[in-house]
């Protein structure tokens, strides 16, 4: 039987017990180019918050306005953040200046602005824990490029990202140029393919695609607040989800790796957690509020990125242990099958446990070895239905870093999985195709 968890309003920003923490946060977002404007469009927002509730939000409608507002914008950020990080390489000022440099790279690229969109984002988070005399500084940045015009279906658009643990100053102009080229190369490739259409049969997921499924079906389900939305308290956590003896761990304490932290945002040490053993869900990721679900001690996965948002359990670096077959053996054993090169997005409804994944590049392989390049498609099944269809695992895993958003809070995460063979997976066509 599941232990009882304290009910009542979610606590916001600070720790569940002990002195309140002090938070300073900074979020920069710069949007360059859109798919629905002949001349392109730029939109900029900077938001800074500090513990006393003071918040500064500055918006600019184009790069020229941003240039004119620069003298006001940086002092505004300093007023919001106090003296924190105003003179170091982590400063909001340096991030703003570097965002402007990257925006110029986009504006000067060979591709028309009405054919793509680049989103430049930076997050800085400084937190103090008075009871432990500890200071925590988090920072990450993402520059995402989406290629394709307004008429291009979502799954057919080229997508590429640059991720940085050092903020935007860790993203060079050549990194962004390469991402733009990759996005347009992918978009051109997909434009030459036929729609995946309806399909029901064996499917082989690439490590990237399998990582997205793992992230949604095991990682998000194992977050204690999500699990409580669908679990039967009478049965506890030991719940069989997969037929094969799958083993899944969250390795969120590997310092220096993307998504890892030494301590969480409640200043609690993050530990490695074995979430699934032999196909059975055996543990949950918890914060202090949900510590009763992990033997009374938080697993150190309580995360928050804004003072006005609640702390909640979040996955960090989730890994599915590999099998013994190589990918060629996996695909050979499948016969006629659909190979999924890439999944664009995934989601979990924690109340129904429905997982949806959006397919991008696919390959339909026939019994005679002929391969048809396809694109698009969706799969929607319950967690147990997805995992019950896993019938073989490849022998090598690949790590895929990304940014995950939950309750309006974006955090670095990473997933590692081998290629997977699934039996009789139903794929439905994109509505627009």
What is the SS3 assignment for 48-115? EECCCCCEEEEEECCHHHHHHHHHHHHHHHHHHHCCCCCCCCCCHHHHHHHHHHHHHHHHCCCCCHHH
pTM of the model: 0.90
Edge to edge, the sheet with strand 42-49 lists 55-60, 42-49, 22-32, 116-129, 134-147, 158-164
Confidence at residue 83, expressed as pLDDT on a 0 to 100 scale? 47
CA–CA separation, 382 and 353 (whole Å): 5
Closest C-alpha among 364, 371, 383, 369 to residue 429: 364
What does R_g of the chain's alpha carbons equal in angstroms?
23
CA distances (Å), 259 to each of 12, 100, 263, in order?
Answer: 22, 26, 12
Cα 406 to Cα 412: distance, rounded to the nearest angstrom: 11
* Residue 285, token pair as written in the block: 């990721």
In what helix (H) or strand (E) does residue 274 lie, and over which residues does it extend?
strand 273-277
β-sheet bridge partners, residue 105? none
Residue 269 DSSP class: B
Q: CA-CA distance, 104 to 120, in Å (whole number)?
A: 12
Q: What is the pLDDT along the chain (433 residues), one digit of tens a residue?
A: 556 555 443 434 444 444 445 577 888 888 888 644 444 467 777 777 766 666 777 776 766 666 665 555 555 555 544 444 444 445 677 788 888 899 999 989 999 888 889 999 999 888 777 666 777 888 899 999 999 988 889 999 999 999 999 999 999 999 999 999 999 999 999 999 999 999 999 999 999 999 999 999 999 999 999 999 988 665 568 899 999 999 999 999 998 899 999 999 998 999 999 999 999 999 999 999 999 999 999 999 999 887 778 899 999 999 999 999 999 999 999 999 999 999 999 999 999 999 999 999 999 999 999 999 999 999 999 999 999 999 999 999 999 999 999 988 899 999 999 999 999 899 999 876 5
What is the per-residue pLDDT for 62? 67
Contact 222, 284 (CB under 8 A): yes
Residue 240 and residue 388 in contact, taking contact as beta carbons nearer than 8 Å: no
**Rounded CA separation 124/98 (Å):** 14
Please state, in angstroms and rounded to a whole number, the distance separating the CA atoms of residues 82 and 242.
Answer: 51
Give the DSSP H or E segment for 118: strand 116-129
pLDDT at position 309 is 81
Burial class, 231, CB count within 10 angstroms (exposed 0-12 / middle 13-18 / buried 19+): buried
Give strand pairing partners of 126. Answer: 24, 137
DSSP SS3 for 418: strand
Whole-angstrom distance, CA of residue 88 vs CA of residue 92: 9
d(CA 104, CA 119): 13
CB 419: neighbour CB atoms within 10 A?
27
Domain borders along the chain are 22-192, 199-427
In angstroms, rounded to a whole number, what is the distance separating the alpha carbons of residues 16 and 18? 7
> Taking a C-beta distance cutoff of 8 angstroms, is the pair 185, 158 a contact?
yes
């Amino acid at each position: 039987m599941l232990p009882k968890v304290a009910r009542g309003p979610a606590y916001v920003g600070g720790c569940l017990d002990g002195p309140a923490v002090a938070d300073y946060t900074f979020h920069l977002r710069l949007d360059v180019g859109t798919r629905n404007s002949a001349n392109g469009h730029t939109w900029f927002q900077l938001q800074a918050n500090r513990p006393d509730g003071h918040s500064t939000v500055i918006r600019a409608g184009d790069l020229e306005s941003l240039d004119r507002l620069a003298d006001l914008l940086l002092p505004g950020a300093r007023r919001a953040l106090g003296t924190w990080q105003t003179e170091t390489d982590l400063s909001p000022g340096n991030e703003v200046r570097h965002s402007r440099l990257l925006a110029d790279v986009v504006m000067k690229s060979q591709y028309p602005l009405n054919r793509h969109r680049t989103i430049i984002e930076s997050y800085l988070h400084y937190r103090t824990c008075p009871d432990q005399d500890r200071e925590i500084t988090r920072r990450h940045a993402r520059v995402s490029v989406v290629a394709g015009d307004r008429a291009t279906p979502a799954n057919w658009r080229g997508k590429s990202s640059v991720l940085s643990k050092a903020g935007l100053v860790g993203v060079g102009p050549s990194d962004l140029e390469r991402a733009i080229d990759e996005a347009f190369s992918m978009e051109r490739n997909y434009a030459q393919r036929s729609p995946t259409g309806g399909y029901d049969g064996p499917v082989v997921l690439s490590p990237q695609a399998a990582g997205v499924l793992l992230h949604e079906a095991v990682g998000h389900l194992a977050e204690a607040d999500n699990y409580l939305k669908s679990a039967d308290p009478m049965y506890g956590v030991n719940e069989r989800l997969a037929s094969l003896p799958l083993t899944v761990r969250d390795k969120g304490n590997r310092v220096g790796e993307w998504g890892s932290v030494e301590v969480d945002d409640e200043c609690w040490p993050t530990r490695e957690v074995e979430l699934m053993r032999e196909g059975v869900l055996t543990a949950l990721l918890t914060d202090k509020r949900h510590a009763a679900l992990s033997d009374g001690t938080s697993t150190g996965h309580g995360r928050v990125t804004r003072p006005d948002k609640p702390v909640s359990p979040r996955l960090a670096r989730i890994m599915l242990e590999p099998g013994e077959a190589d990918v060629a053996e996996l695909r050979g054993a499948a016969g006629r099958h659909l190979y999924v090169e890439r999944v664009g997005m995934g989601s979990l409804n924690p109340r129904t446990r429905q997982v949806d994944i959006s397919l991008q590049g696919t390959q339909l392989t026939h019994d005679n070895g002929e391969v048809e390049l396809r694109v698009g498609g969706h799969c929607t099944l319950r967690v147990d239905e997805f995992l019950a269809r896993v019938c073989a695992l490849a022998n090598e895993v690949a790590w895929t870093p990304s940014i995950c958003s939950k309750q309006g809070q974006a955090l670095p995460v990473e997933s590692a999985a081998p290629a997977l063979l699934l039996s009789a997976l139903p794929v439905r066509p994109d509505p627009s195709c």
